[in-house]
Structure 1
Amino acid sequence: MGAARMKVYNGCAILLFGMIVFGSLMAAASTGPTDMSTAILVRVDQSGINGDFKKIQDAIDSVPSNNSELYFIWVKPGTYREKIVVPADKPFITLSGTRASDTIITWGDTGEIIDSATLSVFASDFVGRYVTIQNTFGTSGKAVALRVAADRAAFYGCKILSYQDTLLDDNGRHYFSNCYIEGATDFICGNAASLYERCHLHSLSREDGAITAQHRNSTSEDTGFIFSGCKITGIGTALLGRPWGAYSKVVFYLTNMSSVVLPQGWDDWGDQSKQSTVCYGEYKCYGPGANRTKRVKWSSSLSSDEAAPFLTMDMIGGRDWLRPVPTHFKRGSTILTEQADGITRD
C-alpha cells in the first residue's frame, strides 16, 4: 500500500486518500460486481400494480446477503411511510426514484441520535437517487432523516429534511451531489469524510442554529466535511458550524452564502480550548454571508495552496469508487435498458 500524502495548515493535518485507498478498493473489487453497466432491477410500487414489492424495506430484504452484483431498486412515485435499514451485509444497492418531489420516504421518530433515522445505511457502496428522505418528528428533539454509517456511499438529487440532526453523516467516505438538505440545529453532523457538491443547505433556525457539527476527535482521523459550489439560505440566522469533536474539520469553498450566515461564522460550543484544534476554513465564497471581516479569528481564509487539497476528489478517493448509473437492467432472463423517462424493455 502506498504512503499517504499529508498537507498541513493551521495545525490541521489533511490526509489525501488518493494514495492509500487502492489496496482496500482492490480487495472490495474482488468480491464485488465485475460489470458496472448492468444491474438486477427490483421495482417498488405501493399500489401493488407495477412492482415486485409494495414496501421499500421488503425490496431491500430481497437482496441476498454479501451479493456480488449491482441491485437497482426502482421506487415508483408515492409517499412511503417506512423506517428503513440497509444492513451491512447487503452492499452495492442503488435506491432510486425518478424525482425527489414525488418519491418520499417519511417517518417521525426521535430518541437517541443513532436510533431515530428514517433511513439508515450500514452497507458499503450504496447509492441514493432522486428521493426525499424526511423525519417529521418536529422541533423538540433529535430527529435524524438519514444516517450513513458505511464506506463509499453517494447521493444524487435527494432531499433530506428534518429539524435537528437531519443528516447524521456518521462514518466512511461519502459524496453528495445536487442534494437539498434542510434543518435548524446541527443539521449536518457526524464524523465521515464527505464531499458535498452543488448542494443547497437551508436553515430553519430563527437565530444562531448551526449548519454543521462535525465530530472529528483527533488529528489521526482523516475525516471532515467539504462543501463545494453550494448555496446557503434560511429563514433566520445560522452559524456555519460548531465542533461536536475537538478536531472538527469543515471547509466551504466557492459557496454562495446568503445573509442568513452570522458575521462571526463559527462557534466553539462553549469550549475555548477547541479554538486551537478545530479546522474551519473558507475559500472564495461569495454573497452577503461570506464577508469575513467579523469572522472569529480562529477560522481561516484559505490561500490557493491551502485550499488545493479540497478542490479534488482526493479526500474521499471518489475517482476510484463512484460508479456510473447502470445502462442495462435484468429481471430473470429479461434485459431492460434505462431511458430518460424510466426503465423500459429493449
Structure 2
Amino acid sequence: MMKLYIQLLVTISLILQASGALSLATDFSIANLKRVDQSGKGDYTTIQEAIDSVPSGNSELVFIWVKPGVYEEKVVVPADKPFISISGNQGNTTVITWSEHGDIFETATLSVLAPFFVARFLTIQNTFGSGGKAVALRVSGDKAAFYACRILSYQDTLLDDSGSHYYSNCYIEGATDFICGHASSLFEKCHIHSLSEGNGSITAQHRDVESDETGYTFLGCKVTGTGPTLLGRAWGAYSRVVYAYSYMTSAVLPAGWSDWGDQNKQSTVFYGEYKNYGPGADRSKRVEWSKKLSGGEISPFLSKEMIGGRYWIRASPKFFRIGSKIVKAGNGGTPNFMT
C-alpha cells in the first residue's frame, strides 16, 4: 500500500508540474546537490549515507554526485524516495562493488526500489563470480534510466525486475541469464557482452501473461562474447525480446533462442529480430518459432514510446542547489567542481 501511495503522490506531482502549479523548489531543471567523497571533502563519505539523508516522500530532484573511487558498499534506494540521481564522472572510475550470491532479490550491489531514478557514469558490479546467482543491479522501481553505466557480474547480472526502464550506452556483462526479469525496457546503443562458455543466455525475460505490456528491446546494440551464447530463453511462457539494428558477433549461437525445455512455450513467446547484422545475425539456422519481423511488426519497438518514455525520461538538471546558492551545471549536466 505504501508503494502505491508514493506512486500516486509522484503522479500528482508530475501533473502539477506540467500545469505550472509547482514552485521553484520542485522545478525539475534544478536539483539539490549532495556530494560523496571518501576523503571527507564532500557532504558524505558513502553513497548510502547520501541516500539516507533524502526524506521519505521526496518530491524534489536530488543529485548525488560521487567522486571517483571504489565504493565497497551495498546500496538501496528505498521505494519512498523518488527523483534521486546518482552520478560519477566516468563509468570506469566511479565503482560501486559488492560480492554476494543467493536469492536474486537480496544479493544486488545496487537495488533501486523507488520510481524516477537515474544513474550516470557508474560501474555497478558483483564480484562473486561463477557458481551462484549474484546480481549487480536490481531495478524494481518504475521509470528508471541508466546512462553510460557498466553493469558487471556472471549470473543474473541485471535483475530488470518490474516497471518501465531505459538503458542508454551501457555496458552489460555476464554469462547466465544476465539480463532477467519482468520489466518493460529499452536498451539503446548498449554493448552486451557474454562470458558464457557454451550454455549461457543473454536474456531470461519473465512475461508470463499475454496481456502484460512487458518485454526487452535491444535497439542499435552490439552483442559480443568470449564463447557461444543464446540471445534469450523463455523464463515466462509469454517471454518477449526483440533485437533490431544490432551488430552480433559469432558468439551468438545459430539457433538463437531456447524454450527452456518447455515446447509449449514455442507457440506463446515473442522472439523477434529486425535488420541485425554481423555473423551472429544469420537467421538461416534460427529456431523456427522465432520471428523475422516486418516493418509493421517492428514499428512499436523502435522508439521510447514503447516504455512511455516521452512522459518521464528527463534531461539532466541545468542548475544545482547547494544550501542557499544555485549554480549552473557543467557540460553533460554534471557539477564541474568538488570542494
TM bucket normalised to smaller: over 0.9
The corresponding residue for 1:248 is 239
CA distances 1:30-86 after superposition (whole Å, capped 9, x unpaired): 57774111000000001112x100000000000111111100000000000000000
Contact 2:175-2:201 within 8 A present in 1 as well: yes
The corresponding residue for 1:47 is 39
The residue correspondences of 1:40-79 to structure 2 (distance < 5 A) are 40-49=32-41, 51-79=42-70
2:249 to 245, 253, 258: 258
2:14 to 18, 29, 37: 29
The corresponding residue for 1:114 is 105
Q: Which runs of 4+ in 1 moved over 2 A?
A: 23-28, 30-34, 340-345
Q: In 1, distance between residues paired with 2:232 and 2:15?
A: 39
Which residue identity does 1:43 align to in structure 2? R
Distance 1:272 1:94, change over 3 A: same
Contact 2:247-2:281 within 8 A present in 1 as well: yes
Distance 1:24 1:193, change over 3 A: farther
SS of equivalent residue, structure 2 residue 311: helix
Percent of aligned pairs sharing the same letter: 62
Q: In 2, distance between residues paired with 1:173 and 1:321?
A: 10
Query: What is the number of equivalent residue pairs in this alignment?
Result: 322
Report the CA distance between 1:214 and its aligned residue. Answer: 0.1
SS of equivalent residue, structure 2 residue 92: helix
Q: In 1, distance between residues paired with 2:253 and 2:16?
A: 48
Report the CA distance between 1:269 and its aligned residue. Answer: 0.6
Which residue identity does 2:336 align to in structure 1? I
SS of equivalent residue, structure 1 residue 315: helix
Contact 1:196-1:227 within 8 A present in 2 as well: yes
Normalising by the residue count of structure 2, what TM-score does the alignment of the two structures yield?
0.92
1:322 to 294, 313, 321: 313
The residue correspondences of 1:323-342 to structure 2 (distance < 5 A) are 323-340=314-331, 342=335
Normalising by the residue count of structure 1, what TM-score does the alignment of the two structures yield?
0.91
CA distances 1:184-225 after superposition (whole Å, capped 9, x unpaired): 000000000000000000000011310000000111211000
Report the CA distance between 1:343 and its aligned residue. Answer: 2.7
Q: In 2, distance between residues paired with 1:35 and 1:293?
A: 53
Unaligned runs of 5+ in 1: 1-22
1:99 to 80, 90, 94: 90
SS of equivalent residue, structure 2 residue 124: strand
CA distances 1:150-204 after superposition (whole Å, capped 9, x unpaired): 1100000000000000000000000000000000000000000000000000000
The corresponding residue for 1:150 is 141
